[in-house]
Amino acid sequence: MTVTAGLSLLVYAVVDAVNSGWGSTGTLLRLAGAAVLLIAFLAIELRQRHPLMPFSIFRLRTLRGANIVGLLIGMSLFSMFFFVSLYLQNVLHYSPIKTGVSYLPLAIGIILSAGAASQLVTRIGFKPPLIAGLLLVAAGLLWFSQVPATGGSFAADVLGPSLLAAFGLGLAFVPVTIAAVSGTSSQEAGLASGLINTSQQVGGALGLAILATIANSRTQSLFHAGVHSSAVTLTKGFDRAFLVGAGFAIAGAILAGLLISSRESREHAAAARGGEVAAVPAPAG
């Protein structure tokens, strides 16, 4: 209850800050309440004989790194789908059904790249494809940040970055899941698997809250500056959000390089080739 309420209040505080103001009493009280609830969660867990999340699991370096990277994957990518949908419907004037169909190339790209990632992990370990995937995601989001407000089209402005981000997503999801359970005992594997899924979902919620706030702030500032074209103000807001999302992905790639053990990555590949571990676990999400 404390962790769910704390994270929910944190997300609401970030989302509403664009309307209330970051220095407003309401925003500060919500942020303080979220901090109190999350601290209460930590205090409760530390006192329990059988805690929901034993903190001893964080002794594993690669697990810690994978969860931090998973958080950034969620922050960068989950919000991408939100803003692309808004761009297709509110700027290119696609119907909801046509917008959904437009995601088919992206979905196919994820399936193909996830299969490729499984093979790469077996050959070279989970660290290199994870970093490569995050860099592709960053490149896709940077490309998305150039979508035009007028004269844009799906083929020219959405399809290319969608495929690039899709291949990056598939390359990143499989390795980060494997990294998150690397080095855990059989008793810890379930907890580690649940933890990486939670990190990605929490990252998605926080990332969407942050990027939606950034996009709304940019849109409102342009409107108050005298730009009254909704297509222009919305697109400029989306562009800013995509740019910050690319920054999250780049940060994830850097932290993957620093926090995830290259030795464990190579050892996993060697064990997978020797048939000592399952080569292809189910991807997160």
- In whole angstroms, what is the distance from residue 42 CA to residue 99 CA? 42
pLDDT at site 282: 43
- Residue tagged 């942020």 (tokens): 31
What residues contact residue 21 under an 8 Å CB cut-off, 6+ apart? 27
Q: Are 23 and 44 in contact (CB under 8 A)?
A: no
- In whole angstroms, what is the distance from residue 144 CA to residue 165 CA? 9
Q: Can you give the length of the chain in residues? A: 285
Dihedral class, residue 54 (left if φ above 0, else alpha if ψ from -120 to 50, else beta): beta
Residue boundaries of the structural domains of the chain: 1-52, 58-273
DSSP string, 94-111: --HHHHHHTTHHHHHHHH
- Is the confidence at residue 245, as pLDDT, over 80? yes
- Is the confidence at residue 283, as pLDDT, over 60? no
Q: What is the pLDDT of residues 97-130, one digit of tens each?
A: 999 999 999 999 999 999 999 899 999 999 999 9
State pTM to two decimals: 0.85
Six token digits for residue 113? 């790249």
In the chain, the amino acid numbered 95 is S
Q: What is the pLDDT of residues 169-191, one digit of tens each?
A: 999 999 999 999 888 887 888 88
234 phi and psi angles, rounded to 5 deg: -65, -45
pLDDT at site 144: 95
58-273: CATH number: 1.20.1250.20
- Is the confidence at residue 279, as pLDDT, over 80? no
